[in-house]
Amino acid sequence: MSLIFDKKYKLDTSENFDEYMKALGVGLVKRTLGNSASPVVELTKTKDGKLALSSISTMKNSVIVFSLDEEFDEETLDGRKVKSIIHQDGNKLVHVQKSDKHSETTIVREFNPDELKMILTIDKITCTRIYKPVD
């Protein structure tokens, strides 16, 4: 099993995302936007061999460019400034976000031909988001 590049996935179902955002400290207005957005996510390779993960939505567009196992600075969709590191485990990207001000967050993205499964964890809260391929 390996990662899947150049394939767009759109959010289909989401469980516990509001609880996850509350645990991050996201306020009601941004949570409402977050809950109503259906992002389209795509993993690509850059010309210089890095990976790029983009998320396009009515809430906010973002792209993170990174090398596996190398720490980088990330500003998250909710505005946290974190140190991130992403590790590959077969067809999964395991993304750990750390900062002095917030609990550690882990986001596992599992790439399959028929879905992208995202599991987000903070403290004891787990959120599962299933993305489906865009035709």
Residues that bind ligand DKA (CB under 6 A): 21, 24, 26, 30, 34, 39, 55, 59, 76-78, 118, 129
Three-state SS for 99? coil
Tell me phi and psi for residue 128, to 5 degrees.
Answer: -120, 125
- The set of long-range contacts for 64-68, using a CB threshold of 8 Å and a minimum separation of 24, is none
Q: Is the Cβ of residue 35 or residue 47 nearer to ligand DKA in the bound state? A: 35
Residue 104 CB, nearest approach to ligand DKA (Å): 14
How many alpha carbons lie under 13 Å from residue 15 in its C-beta half-sphere? 7
| Tokens of residue 87, six digits | 């590790």
Q: Is the Cβ of residue 23 or residue 48 nearer to ligand DKA in the bound state? A: 23
Residue nearest to ligand DKA (CB): 34
Residue 73 CB, nearest approach to ligand DKA (Å): 16
Distance between CA atoms of 105 and 42, rounded to whole angstroms? 21
Q: Is the Cβ of residue 22 or residue 50 nearer to ligand DKA in the bound state? A: 22
Residue 76 CB, nearest approach to ligand DKA (Å): 5
